[in-house]
Structure 1
């Protein structure tokens, strides 16, 4: 299928051929008939992409700080590679889509095949959208009109925050498409509306809707205009839908407001507020968030948990429904805003001049018939007779930033991603033969020896078992499992299944040159190991904290150091106790100390903290044994005390990824076993699960063989 994408590094907009998405639980699959180009939002993305690195940095100072922090901990070269890789990833454009439902996922009961719906899907021939971001279209509303649903909801949400009453005077600053829709919705609400813009054509459209207009380029002073109109009282409310980098608009909004008036920002303007202007009038200022309540809330958008109507009257989906009802009633008329209708194949007629275009609304028209493909071939590469042929399931950050660079030169036949775009981009960049949205295509292919799994954590165990049962060697990024039952099933497979297959988990730290040097220096004597992970803060609403999806950061990341200590001690964990500073809503934690007792008498302490300074090293390991001490700082410097012939080892940052994948591929090609003993993998995972259980029980938990 075809999809419009943009490269943030170059600003290039392309019509890409990507595999069609599969329908997911809680979602619907839609074949697109129309999509609306949001010229304001999409123009900003295109202009950002075309800017040089310095200008990009100026536009995102908060990201610059993150980059500088990463330089301090990881070094300049890895940081620049990460930044450029991030910018190279194409992003989907568009969020105003209309089409017909062609598949319905599990847990969706109120949408049927063939229904016409509006959604926030991108400019693509087929989109997969969560149920709460989809609204059925009334029969009397055309596809062209319905394409305005989502962008109309953006203006509607700003109005809901303003909460105007019948007869109030409201100013809309900026009469782009969102501004025009907002002004018209305010008129429907019984308000006297003033529209401010520099474009006479837009002002003419507004006047046709009964909106009073003010054009500063014609000598109109917006503040004086509003004050004269209101008899010196000022506007009851100001909605800013404009895009500007200076602070003049927010200042003018304050000056034209009445005492205790309200200002709501929908657009993007400078926000250097004058305290005096806001203080003297006791003004209220608020920023509107997209389509309404539920936006960016995974529980609402991705898991379909609606907010109860008696307590949250207007959610983003109910705002969608309101716009569609207004269109059906004829109260909202969007037809005058349609400037052009362009076939999808001629998309560049819009994007080629997006920086200078004076159009209001551009609609993309999609073909009625299309060939649905879930796998796309990028190169004709023969794999017959080769050993170690790889298929990758998952095309997220780990795959892009770590796995693929480490696999340079490997025979990679497939990469699978849920939406098709990320996998296709990586396939083109790294010379992968095929991209797919059907991961089972990889499992069915007899030429594939090794499957690499890098999806979200809750899929790791089930995908691992499915791949093993299809006769594939498996590498799965940590954690191996997030529940004991999953781990038990994997253990059962190896006790009862095919011993010729190998399983490897992404415990890469043991493959670092520093870890291998430590192991050689320490020998087999019992030891005390203290590992500290200065992990850094991750927002509480991130999926990694969700016990059912990410498992929490202890399961997802602290397991690295349980495995490392197991490797150094040459023993296995027999008991675990964990204490935490606090827990997240899903009862996970990322501020904890884990005590480990090993079978050979060694002890381990893992301090996993998210509340430390970013200026301090991210990872530090201390080992004490037989009057000797080793200090490993961030896998760059290893310092020894009390060792004959060794004092220091320095390297660029090396956490062992490349070496792990080298050994893994060699093992698969030779038909050997996993680079990490299976019993170590199982013991480390059990120990991590025991740490979580220990926190719940507030006691030591034994780690036995199940």
Structure 2
């Protein structure tokens, strides 16, 4: 088998052919699928190996002391031979991986051959094709968790153990110093525990990433912004906990911890930074300094790690293995998101070059994975699938009958910026529409909407609105995390529902909405996919005409960067930006191609949110959506080209469109006039079609099957990013 090794004397790295380990009792033989490079610990070791002998001695004074003791005991010649022999040997790298059990040793009964497991240990979870792993250093991977995400288990356990040492409480405020791999995980774990987090790191990109993953504010450790954020969140008292996740020789982290911690606050050292504690500062606040020892209780205990002797849960609640299982559970349930941390995935055969690029600074990375060929590696993995639920309505509820001249009475749940700028202006003066009730979580926002748009009533009582028989339809225009639940409740109440995108953030949420349709027989639902209603795009589609062969569609979305503090950054609760917005572009492509996609392939550029999403359709057509956040702000947001049968449709940000056709009588060309007013992306036509369906009881503007297919395809993007493989959209039987 092959394994990554390093000669500590010369610093040389290589992928070496070595004998495969045997499967001993009390453990399992695991074939690696993905292993994680610890860009902190491992690169420090790699850098040390490249130093001169004097540099090595300066970096490891503890080892120098041992050498001097050996000289005193055994003499200089014997000590020299011993040290040189040890230095001039291969040493392994790696300690966090996910793989498939290939063989089970005697005494092991909790896993079997073929099971996916996450493994830990700098002697047992190495960058190697095969590893023997003892019982207490592996755990089964939860169903549905991608192997490359499970490879984060060990570093996640390190972060989790550090958070446990800080004993966070709901409502507290914490400071995380150092926003590398461990620091980013600490931020998410604290956020999941109900703690507000401030981050400190000199790298602006890492600060931005931490804010996307839940931090309230981040900044350079030496800037006034960090201190100001702490003062604002704590009323000037200081943070309850400080987590030192930084490395290096600077004493700034411990000094900053003392300056920003509250009286009797807790300081937890997780990384390996300089710890010259300023005595007066720590004494005056009586700061509680704690250390976090790797993955948790059991670490460095050979009876636990090698002999498999567990600690009784009544005495030691969280051991190494329990921390590992807990972290994987958090990732599998979406409480921690490791996907944005992955800067690069390299083939295992390219390990030496990958380390070189990291060491030389050519590759700026938070987390890098090695990918192995094998049963669960991306090279031979079975393509993942996302189910597109069938729409089942056993007893379809009839649309409410109404006299033609009876006005449609609408209720709005939510009155944020989109509702007040893009929807309500098209409804406020529409004939035959009564804005009956606006529901918000705060009384003042409801009162503002009532005053601006003439709602008859403003309330915070959602149940009262859903139970009001006079209300015909409900608009759900709240934050993304509430869409599915509010839609489900409104459908069960018998209301016609307009919900802004996205319909759901997870497959389970989508299934819950469809369960409400089945239970109630009420399938009168519209999702705010407005672009298909744009007058300009509809005319361009008509000019393009029918097609006989497959089409190729290219859609560039220049989304731009989010402003600091945007709730879109709260991916843990509100989903990723593409999950929230991508349905627009999937729906537009599917409407133009007049079909629902059958597969999704998604890739992300390293270190940012730029995505390439390729949709494949039943007739062989493809749509490529480039969703980018790093483009120029002055460039149009949405541009599109549709090519088929010698024809090209071009859309320029809903301002101008053109169609080019090769015909027998020469080339034909249609170009729209430049719109004199603001872009019309179809909101007015969309709400008009919805109101008409409510008034007449006719079909909804977009079939429910199409809404479900678009939502499933959008959700499949995350699955595809996790697996690195195309995702099949498997349609359930009706």
TM-score, reference length from structure 2: 0.49
- Contact 2:8 / 2:89 at 8 angstroms: preserved in 1? yes
Which among 230, 233, 252 is matched to residue 229 of structure 1? 233
What is the CA deviation profile of residues 541-580 of structure 1, one whole-angstrom value per residue up to 9, with x for unaligned ones? xxxxxxxxxxxxxxxxxxxxxxxxxxxxxxxxxxxxxxxx
- Between the aligned partners of 1:218 and 1:73, the Cα distance in structure 2 is 47
- Contact 2:30 / 2:102 at 8 angstroms: preserved in 1? yes
Alignment of 1:462-501 (within 5 A): none
Alignment of 1:18-417 (within 5 A): 18-120=18-120, 121-216=125-220, 219-220=223-224, 222-355=226-359, 356=361, 357-368=363-374
- Between the aligned partners of 1:229 and 1:331, the Cα distance in structure 2 is 23
- Contact 2:181 / 2:341 at 8 angstroms: preserved in 1? yes
- Between the aligned partners of 2:79 and 2:370, the Cα distance in structure 1 is 39
Question: In the TM superposition, what is the alpha-carbon distance from 1:328 to its structure 2 partner?
Answer: 1.5
- Between the aligned partners of 1:349 and 1:280, the Cα distance in structure 2 is 50
Secondary structure of residue in 1 paired with 2:183:
helix
Give 2:451's aligned residue. none
- Contact 2:100 / 2:375 at 8 angstroms: preserved in 1? no
Change (3 A) 1:147 1:369: closer
- Contact 2:176 / 2:245 at 8 angstroms: preserved in 1? yes
- Between the aligned partners of 2:37 and 2:264, the Cα distance in structure 1 is 37
- Between the aligned partners of 2:228 and 2:274, the Cα distance in structure 1 is 22
- Between the aligned partners of 1:63 and 1:213, the Cα distance in structure 2 is 40
Question: In the TM superposition, what is the alpha-carbon distance from 1:349 to its structure 2 partner?
Answer: 3.4
- Between the aligned partners of 2:276 and 2:227, the Cα distance in structure 1 is 19
Secondary structure of residue in 1 paired with 2:55:
helix
Secondary structure of residue in 2 paired with 1:354:
helix
Give 1:16's aligned residue. 16
Secondary structure of residue in 2 paired with 1:352:
helix
Change (3 A) 1:205 1:286: same
- Contact 1:155 / 1:179 at 8 angstroms: preserved in 2? yes
Secondary structure of residue in 1 paired with 2:310:
coil
Question: In the TM superposition, what is the alpha-carbon distance from 1:213 to its structure 2 partner?
Answer: 3.0
Secondary structure of residue in 2 paired with 1:353:
helix
Question: In the TM superposition, what is the alpha-carbon distance from 1:245 to its structure 2 partner?
Answer: 0.9
Change (3 A) 1:369 1:222: closer
Structure 2 residue runs without a partner (length 5+): 377-734
Secondary structure of residue in 1 paired with 2:357:
coil
Question: In the TM superposition, what is the alpha-carbon distance from 1:52 to its structure 2 partner?
Answer: 0.9
Question: In the TM superposition, what is the alpha-carbon distance from 1:129 to its structure 2 partner?
Answer: 0.8
- Between the aligned partners of 1:191 and 1:369, the Cα distance in structure 2 is 40
- Contact 2:161 / 2:295 at 8 angstroms: preserved in 1? yes
Change (3 A) 1:218 1:290: closer
- Between the aligned partners of 1:165 and 1:217, the Cα distance in structure 2 is 24
- Between the aligned partners of 2:114 and 2:200, the Cα distance in structure 1 is 42
Give 2:512's aligned residue. none
- Between the aligned partners of 1:226 and 1:12, the Cα distance in structure 2 is 45
- Between the aligned partners of 2:222 and 2:241, the Cα distance in structure 1 is 24
- Between the aligned partners of 1:36 and 1:127, the Cα distance in structure 2 is 14
Question: In the TM superposition, what is the alpha-carbon distance from 1:224 to its structure 2 partner?
Answer: 4.7
- Contact 1:223 / 1:252 at 8 angstroms: preserved in 2? no
Secondary structure of residue in 1 paired with 2:102:
strand
- Between the aligned partners of 1:67 and 1:330, the Cα distance in structure 2 is 48
- Between the aligned partners of 2:146 and 2:185, the Cα distance in structure 1 is 17
Secondary structure of residue in 2 paired with 1:347:
helix
- Between the aligned partners of 1:58 and 1:91, the Cα distance in structure 2 is 20
Question: In the TM superposition, what is the alpha-carbon distance from 1:60 to its structure 2 partner?
Answer: 1.8
- Contact 2:177 / 2:221 at 8 angstroms: preserved in 1? no
Question: In the TM superposition, what is the alpha-carbon distance from 1:318 to its structure 2 partner?
Answer: 0.4
- Contact 1:96 / 1:119 at 8 angstroms: preserved in 2? yes
Give 1:652's aligned residue. none
Question: In the TM superposition, what is the alpha-carbon distance from 1:225 to its structure 2 partner?
Answer: 3.9
- Between the aligned partners of 1:369 and 1:352, the Cα distance in structure 2 is 28
Secondary structure of residue in 1 paired with 2:3:
strand
Kindly tell me the number of residue pairs found equivalent between the two proteins. 370
Question: In the TM superposition, what is the alpha-carbon distance from 1:69 to its structure 2 partner?
Answer: 2.2
Secondary structure of residue in 1 paired with 2:40:
helix
Q: Give RMSD over aligned pairs.
A: 1.6
- Between the aligned partners of 1:276 and 1:217, the Cα distance in structure 2 is 21
- Between the aligned partners of 1:61 and 1:342, the Cα distance in structure 2 is 34
Give 1:6's aligned residue. 6
Secondary structure of residue in 1 paired with 2:358:
coil
Question: In the TM superposition, what is the alpha-carbon distance from 1:246 to its structure 2 partner?
Answer: 2.2
Secondary structure of residue in 2 paired with 1:310:
coil
- Between the aligned partners of 1:157 and 1:103, the Cα distance in structure 2 is 30
Change (3 A) 1:256 1:219: closer
- Between the aligned partners of 2:12 and 2:160, the Cα distance in structure 1 is 32
Secondary structure of residue in 1 paired with 2:297:
coil
- Between the aligned partners of 1:27 and 1:178, the Cα distance in structure 2 is 28
What is the CA deviation profile of residues 375-419 of structure 1, one whole-angstrom value per residue up to 9, with x for unaligned ones? xxxxxxxxxxxxxxxxxxxxxxxxxxxxxxxxxxxxxxxxxxxxx
Structure 1 residue runs without a partner (length 5+): 371-706
- Between the aligned partners of 1:224 and 1:251, the Cα distance in structure 2 is 17
Question: In the TM superposition, what is the alpha-carbon distance from 1:25 to its structure 2 partner?
Answer: 1.5
Question: In the TM superposition, what is the alpha-carbon distance from 1:217 to its structure 2 partner?
Answer: 7.5
What is the CA deviation profile of residues 19-72 of structure 1, one whole-angstrom value per residue up to 9, with x for unaligned ones? 000011111100111111111111100111011111111122222222122223
- Between the aligned partners of 2:339 and 2:66, the Cα distance in structure 1 is 45
- Contact 1:168 / 1:236 at 8 angstroms: preserved in 2? yes
- Contact 2:221 / 2:256 at 8 angstroms: preserved in 1? no
Secondary structure of residue in 2 paired with 1:94:
coil
Question: In the TM superposition, what is the alpha-carbon distance from 1:221 to its structure 2 partner?
Answer: 5.3
Question: In the TM superposition, what is the alpha-carbon distance from 1:345 to its structure 2 partner?
Answer: 0.7
What is the CA deviation profile of residues 659-685 of structure 1, one whole-angstrom value per residue up to 9, with x for unaligned ones? xxxxxxxxxxxxxxxxxxxxxxxxxxx
What is the CA deviation profile of residues 328-375 of structure 1, one whole-angstrom value per residue up to 9, with x for unaligned ones? 2112111111111111111133201222131111111111279xxxxx
Q: Runs in 1 of length 4+ with deviation above 3 angstroms?
A: 217-225
Secondary structure of residue in 2 paired with 1:62:
helix
What is the CA deviation profile of residues 154-202 of structure 1, one whole-angstrom value per residue up to 9, with x for unaligned ones? 0000000101000100111111111101100100000001111111111
- Between the aligned partners of 1:315 and 1:361, the Cα distance in structure 2 is 25
Secondary structure of residue in 2 paired with 1:239:
strand
- Contact 1:214 / 1:220 at 8 angstroms: preserved in 2? no
- Contact 1:245 / 1:269 at 8 angstroms: preserved in 2? yes
- Contact 2:173 / 2:233 at 8 angstroms: preserved in 1? no
- Contact 1:29 / 1:102 at 8 angstroms: preserved in 2? yes
- Between the aligned partners of 1:69 and 1:149, the Cα distance in structure 2 is 38
Secondary structure of residue in 1 paired with 2:293:
coil
- Between the aligned partners of 1:60 and 1:218, the Cα distance in structure 2 is 28
- Between the aligned partners of 1:90 and 1:270, the Cα distance in structure 2 is 29
- Between the aligned partners of 2:324 and 2:255, the Cα distance in structure 1 is 32
- Between the aligned partners of 1:69 and 1:239, the Cα distance in structure 2 is 35
Question: In the TM superposition, what is the alpha-carbon distance from 1:218 to its structure 2 partner?
Answer: 8.3
